[in-house]
A and B are shown apart, each in its own frame.
Chain A
């Protein structure tokens, strides 16, 4: 990837805060937000702040990764179903590889995603970790 600041900067609002959108006609929820509903074709989409917790419904452990991610291997990428029903792809962190399983409750944490080479910026965003239950 060619390093780019604006490419990352313009997505910050959605990436950092989990802002998606909801179709005001059929109720479908999306992340990231988009201008048209693929379920009903409506253009009446409204921004929606999504919940920062959900359930892990599927995952894989990456053993061979691209240049940007190879120093993180092995790492887990999972599909998290948020309370609104929308599914988000994210790394699952702060968990032992042997303890990962579908069905666990997870919550969003703010983390570094990748570096744009040696001269580019560092990209940040959300990952998920097993939910820390209040004592």
Chain B
């Protein structure tokens, strides 16, 4: 297996891009990544696009050929990768495999989602397609509703209070403030979070990731090719894994542990030859507040049931034991579904390069990004290391 590095990264701001199409967003992020990589577009041999709902929300499929055309890349290999909200993380894994296999030297992988073309009730329909249409969506439950079942069970099983769990949203907003790409770059108080309307009891609006537009892109290269282009700022992909669980969470024996995170993390740690204690910076997929603590537990950073306490006590601040979601997470950076997994990776890369601005973690060497599809039905874990 060949060694793979991140050569360039690029983002669009997350938000409501009324005047930009799904292709405008993707091309904008892709061109920034190519420029950051210091390569020519013609160096790209394959384009992988992570996206969940373009078919439903835009009436547009075949994003691989569409984006390649708009990038002027006739002839490249391409594919769209869909794994619900984990589309970005899983697309990255596929791009990693493509370069690690030795077949391609240079691959562009991006994620894109354009959610504001539709009204909220249709976005709700699109998101529940992450679970079984005939036996889950047909009950009327929403994606927030499925996570509400997890929330209720987590509070009951571990005796954790909603105030402790909801604090994750406060944390995210604090770090979005200094992220120029964030959808909501301002702070919120715990009181505001707890007073916001119920979406799916007990989940409140300000505990939920928003409806967002955005695109993110990464240029992956073989180490040999990368060294011929740059000598500094190379970030190696040292671990990359994807795992699955039983699709519908209510069928599992325990709602509070996301088995797929556990499995993907074990595989990625093993490949990277690291342990949880070696990780300096983390991005977790907190689509709803309760998932933040659960992910920190399932990734092996803290004992089951202690995740919320770990957060409230300040351990995930940028100067804490385990800096987490240092650009605002899904709640405040925003959650353009199929792009989110790539946003997380770009944020980890910025931390490892020392380009994180006011949110910089001091001397971060190893970082981890976790991308989750469905309620833990598909999970991608990618681990990165700064090359000296």
Contacts and interface: CB of A to CB of B under 8 A. Distances in A.
A97 B145 CA distance: 15
A77 B138 contact: no
B362 interface: no
Nearest to A100: B201
Interface string B138-156: 1111101100110011000
Nearest to B201: A61
Contacts of A38: 246
B138 A66 contact: no
B255 A62 contact: no
Contacts of B145: 60, 62, 77
Interface string A74-93: 01010100000001111100
Nearest to B197: A63
A67 B142 CA distance: 11
Contacts of B250: 58, 79, 87-89
A51 interface: no
A132 interface: no
A77 B153 contact: no
Given A61-B201, A62-B141, A75-B140, A67 B122 contact: yes
B124 interface: yes
Given A113-B139, A114-B140, A68 B200 contact: no
B124 A66 contact: yes
B73 interface: no
Contact of B133 (A1, A87, A90): A1
Contact of B128 (A15, A31, A59, A66): A66
Contacts of A90: 139
A21 to B, nearest CB: 13
Contacts of B255: 58
A99 to B, nearest CB: 14
A66 B152 contact: no
A64 B199 contact: yes
A42 interface: no
Interface residues of A, number: 34
Interface string B178-204: 000000000000000000011111110
A75 B145 CA distance: 11
A5 to B, nearest CB: 14
B140 A91 contact: yes
Contacts of B149: 58-60, 79
B68 to A, nearest CB: 28
Contacts of A24: none
Nearest to B125: A66
B198 A77 contact: no
B70 to A, nearest CB: 28
A70 interface: yes
B198 A1 contact: no
Contact of B200 (A15, A58, A60, A70): A60
B251 interface: yes
Contacts of B124: 64-66
Contacts of B363: none
A52 interface: no
Interface of A: 1, 7, 11, 15, 30-32, 38, 58-70, 72, 75, 77, 79, 87-91, 113-114, 123, 125
- 8 closest residue pairs by CB, A with B: A60-B148, A69-B140, A61-B201, A66-B125, A77-B141, A66-B124, A67-B121, A79-B250
